[in-house]
Amino acid sequence: MARIIAIANQKGGVGKTTSAINLASSLAVLEYKTLLVDADPQANSTTGLGFDLRNIQQSLYDCMVNDVQPRDVILESDTPNLKVLPSHIDLVGAELELINHPNRERVMKQVIDAVKDEYDFVIVDCSPSLGLITVNALVASHSVIIPVQCEFFALEGLGKLLNTIKIVQSRLNTDLEIEGILMTMYDGRLRLSNQVVDEVKQHFEESVFNTIIHRNTKLGEAPSFGKSVIMYDAMSTGAINYLNLAKEILQKHNFTKINQEDKILAINDDQSE
């Protein structure tokens, strides 16, 4: 059975999609069968992996609103072991269309549960909102990764997100865990980056991943080539960071395929760009 992990933060531009694409691709490269669910109507995870929205006939929206089977919607990616349940701008409408659904918070869970046995991991990329679709993602998941950008006001809005997670935990999904807080766009040359990491670690202690995602131009370039960073430039800091994140998660949950040479690679601050 798959471990289902949502990537959520209602702030835009903190690295949710970059983390979803590259964590999913890293797990796939490490030979874990992975499904990336694009739960953002902007469909950046879908296009970032090279899919042309004009060729996509059906999406997560059709699974959630029109009872289409996810198996008929899921696409093969260019990366072995990685499949994608694509998004579409229609998903915006799902929030309204599900309003009167008797189980409106559990619709995505039903979609994912129908295919979860075919995967080791399901990664859900959320939209920058705490609306019904994001709540659906949190209800469908075992855990949530919260990307936090190393910048001023990094903690702003986190209280609201943690509160939403608490409400979901108490009413809808008692098993939901925080997989970890992921520091993104870290620049070791900036005192600010280090201050933000220290501050977040003080607040959240061991909930913060050891792996920190550095600012790296390859991470920004890769989606315009329709590729994950590991397929675009496997030696880049971004590729190494996300592989390490995948390995940290695998080690935490005692996944056994990981072997000695796959151990987490050290990375120096001065490699950040």
* Residues engaged in binding ligand ADP (CB under 6 A): 12-18, 44, 128, 184-185, 213, 215-216, 219-220
CB of 242 to Mg ion, least distance (A): 15
Amino acid, res. 5: I
Contact call for residue 134 and Mg ion (CB under 5 A): no
- Binding mask 20-49 toward Mg ion (x if CB under 5 A, else -) reads ------------------------x-----
Task: State which residue, 3 or 215, has the beta carbon closest to ligand ADP.
Answer: 215
* CA 239/CA 228 separation, integer angstroms: 8
Task: State which residue, 63 or 219, has the beta carbon closest to ligand ADP.
Answer: 219
- Evaluate whether 165 touches 178 at the Cβ level (below 8 Å): yes
CB of 134 to ligand ADP, least distance (A): 12
Degrees to nearest 5, angle at CA 197 with 12 and 215: 55
Only segment of 17-25, 93-101, 162-170, 200-208 that touches Mg ion (CB under 5 A): 17-25
**Partner that binds at residue 219, options Mg ion, ligand ADP, none, CB closer than 5 to 8 Å by kind:** ligand ADP
| Number of residues in the chain | 273
**Partner that binds at residue 79, options Mg ion, ligand ADP, none, CB closer than 5 to 8 Å by kind:** none
Task: State which residue, 136 or 184, has the beta carbon closest to ligand ADP.
Answer: 184
Task: State which residue, 11 or 247, has the beta carbon closest to Mg ion.
Answer: 11
CB of 34 to Mg ion, least distance (A): 18
**Partner that binds at residue 111, options ligand ADP, Mg ion, none, CB closer than 5 to 8 Å by kind:** none
Task: State which residue, 17 or 34, has the beta carbon closest to ligand ADP.
Answer: 17
Among 16, 83, 214, 227, binds Mg ion (CB under 5 A): 16
Task: State which residue, 30 or 126, has the beta carbon closest to Mg ion.
Answer: 126
Task: Map the chain to HEC letters.
Answer: CCEEEEECCCCCCCCHHHHHHHHHHHHHHCCCCEEEEEECCCCHHHHHCCCCHHHCCCCHHHHHHCCCCHHHCCEECCCCCEEEECCCCCHHHHHHHCCCCCCCCCHHHHHHHCCHHHCCEEEEEECCCCCHHHHHHHHHCCEEEEEEECCCCCCCCHHHHHHHHHHHHHHCCCCCEEEEEEEECECCCCHHHHHHHHHHHHHHHHHECCCCCECCHHHHHHHHHCCCHHHHCCCCHHHHHHHHHHHHHHHHCCCCCCCHHHCCCCCCHHHCC
Give the number of residues in contact with Mg ion, rule: CB under 5 A: 3
CB of 22 to Mg ion, least distance (A): 12
Task: State which residue, 12 or 93, has the beta carbon closest to ligand ADP.
Answer: 12
Q: Which residues bind Mg ion (CB under 5 A)?
A: 16-17, 44
